[in-house]
Amino acid sequence: MQKGMHTDTERCVRAVRSKDARFDGWFFTAVLTTRIYCRPSCPVVPPKPENMTFYPSAAACQQAGFRACKRCRPDTSPGSPEWNQRADLVARAMRLIADGVVDREGVPGLAARLGYSPRQIERQLLAELGAGPLALARAQRARTARLLIETTTLPMARIAFAAGFSSIRTFNDTVREVHALTPSELRARTSRNDARASRNDAREPRPDSRATPGTLTLRLPFRAPLNPDNLFGHLAATAVPGVEEWRDGAYRRTLRLPYGHGIVALTPQPDHIACRLTLGDLRDLPVAISRCRRMLDLDADPVAVDDQLRADPLLAPLVDKAPGRRVPRTVDEAEFAVRAVLGQQVSTAAARTHAARLVTAHGDRVDDPEGGLTHLFPSPEALAALDPESLAMPRTRRATLTTLVRGLADGTLNLGVDSDWPEARARLLALPGFGPWTVDVIAMRALGDPDAFLPTDLGIRRAARELGLPSTPAALTARAAAWRPWRAYAVQYLWATDSHPINFLPV
């Protein structure tokens, strides 16, 4: 799979005819006779090839006058893997749009963050996605509106503003145009169909009347296969007390969001991730969903990753044993960078202890009626004001941590979804106490670089020796060139050879 797949008509037709769910989110099928657009795996009888045209985004379909299919619900497809595996301008822009920047700051704000003019951003997005930033943000608002209409009993006026619309009229017009139903009809249709199941069901369950006020229950789709063991095992084993926990089969954590805070519970299911979100402000819904999807690496293309890694005869047995491993990432890049420094040259338990002390002393308190979450992880601004002498760690690591948080707080170091990966790496390496391991683990889990590699990691070197791979960093890096651009996923398979708790789904 590659950029511009929608331009390969023959390949797209084959994918539609085979109803291959792996291609959902890579492109969308627009049917000229019905003016409907679908995901490739739509369960209906495929149209004739001459009646199909293909678009790279739902926004492009909507802009061309097509409405979403009511059967396959293309707006609930997993996102394109491109935006999480690339670091170019378009990918960075797409990550920012998913994070709600256009709704909060407009296209000028998006352009300012990326360092380009609004016209340049518009031109590049149109060229690759067939839609500009406003159309892409509008499609996201329509998706959020549908989600709130179908999963809550909120009044439509409140849904309109929570989804980011500037007026009730715009909300009504957009929902009617995208879904060919008014908001009230969409809610009524959902109520009638609650008991019905459909193939590739991407529907979210109706809200539980006993749930905490402000709580939404929904499904996060993904491309199969997905192995939850290392994904949730890693998050649970490294959980910071007060901020994260594993409870009743779910990974739970607090979220610092643009308009307030939230609490999320994520539970792995065979065909989706069950997500329960409690938000202080419903305007944070699309951002919270985007960050949770990114943390769980749900938009990855596991077939492409595993096929390439399986080509190495020493990795093939690991991939065949447990395919679909994801890279556990983060909902807060600055938080992860701080935790990476706290974890330098200490055990997982010691790193959690250091982090918990920072949380108790400097984190904002939250109320969690369901469990044991007590705080948001401290912001860089809060940590920049701390007294280094209060840190129970070696003096050199204190200097490393304080230099990091100052850079994050004053903006000279950007690790956000809009960051330029090579530039971020260079700035991290220039900080005192930052070596290749710390930079690469931040690149892998915070920046989201799918090709980040950890040849000096003790677990990786131990796995290499056991498998017969080169164990010296230079030789292992040379061997790993064949795994590019998926070396971060190779790390997950190599780590899985160990009995460390990060590799096992908690019980």
Give catalytic status of residue 103 as yes or no.
no
For the sheet containing 52-55, what is the strand order?
52-55, 28-31, 36-38, 67-68
Give catalytic status of residue 201 as yes or no.
no
CB contact burial 196-207 (16+ within 10 A = b; e otherwise) = eeeebebbbeeb
Rounded CA gap, 402 and 384, in Å?
7
Rounded CA gap, 6 and 27, in Å?
6
Rounded CA gap, 129 and 236, in Å?
37
Name the one residue in this structure whose structure tokens are 């849904």: 159
Residue 366: C-alpha distances to residues 156, 264, 329, 331 (Å): 29, 13, 23, 17
Select which of 12, 38, 61, 292 is catalytic: 38
Name the one residue in this structure whose structure tokens are 């030789």: 475
Query: Do the beta carbons of residue 473 and residue 455 sit within 8 Å?
Result: yes
Distance, CA of 71 to chain centre: 25
Peptide bond into 56 cis (omega under 30): no
Q: What is the DSSP string of 92-138?
A: HHHHHHHTTHHHHHHHHHHHHHHTS-HHHHHHHHHHHHSS-HHHHHH
Nearby residues of 308 by Cβ (< 8 Å), 6 or more positions away: 483, 486
Query: Do the beta carbons of residue 241 and residue 351 sit within 8 Å?
Result: no
Within 10 angstroms of residue 108's Cβ, the number of other Cβ atoms is: 12
Q: What share of the chain is helix, strand, coil (3-state, %, to 5)?
A: 50, 10, 40
Rounded CA gap, 446 and 329, in Å?
6
Query: Do the beta carbons of residue 365 and residue 375 sit within 8 Å?
Result: yes
For the sheet containing 261-268, what is the strand order?
215-220, 273-279, 261-268, 250-256, 244-247
In which region does residue 347 sit, left (phi positive, over 0), alpha (psi from -120 to 50) or beta (all else)?
A: beta
Which residue, among 5, 287, 41, 304, has the nearest Cα to 163 in the 3D structure?
Answer: 287
Catalytically active residues are 38, 457
